[in-house]
Amino acid sequence: MQQEIQLPFPDRTLADRELERDPCYGRIPPQDRAGIVESAWNKGANAARALYREQAGSYDFFAIARASGLKLVEKDVDFVSGNQRYFSDYIAGQGVVNLYLKSIGLWAQQNGMELKQAENLILSHEYFHFLEWTRLGLTSREYRVPMLCVGPLRLGNTGIRALSEIGAHAFARTYHELCKEADHGADIEL
């Protein structure tokens, strides 16, 4: 997960902007844009509702992730590459989630959160990517555009990475809200 993320996570309107930032945005016909954001968002939100039921309302993503066989690796670094700050990543082939603690710490501070709470929120985002790889299918591959447009030629095709991010934001946000509604989201003990 990268910076630009607002608390408690982007809402539906910011999801449209996430799509705009995708390098393939210009190749998505304008009439398709709203629909693909909508369906990626719904996929994340529905997955959150299903997992929330499955986990009987637990908001401990450390426990949920470990019980799913994921290995959590906390690295004490502020991971900045290019002009982008990275908080975490999910390495599909290895079943590993890296958490970059100094990056997360800065974000937690900016948003007045405890480090563990911020890690948990970020972990919930990565957990959606895990679900995509293991159960749900990659959201980024649910819509394809040509890899290259040369005049009238359309060569190859590629998915839209931003759609996976939109799904993950929707997942994290919906899960967070379900817990808040159940009145134990605001001050969760981890």
Residues near Zn ion (CB under 5 A)? 1, 165, 168
Residue with tokens 């603690």: 101
Residue pair 173/8 in contact (Cβ under 8 Å)? The answer is yes
Give whichever of 10 and 59 is closer to Zn ion, judged by the CB atom. Answer: 10
Residue 136 DSSP class:
I
Give whichever of 65 and 168 is closer to Zn ion, judged by the CB atom. Answer: 168
Cβ atoms within 10 A of the Cβ of 118, count? 24
Element (DSSP H or E) covering residue 141 = none
Q: What's the closest the beta carbon of residue 88 comes to Zn ion, in angstroms?
A: 8
Q: What's the closest the beta carbon of residue 171 comes to Zn ion, in angstroms?
A: 10
Q: What's the closest the beta carbon of residue 66 comes to Zn ion, in angstroms?
A: 19
Question: Collapsing DSSP states into helix, strand and coil, what is residue 73?
Answer: strand
Give whichever of 52 and 126 is closer to Zn ion, judged by the CB atom. Answer: 126
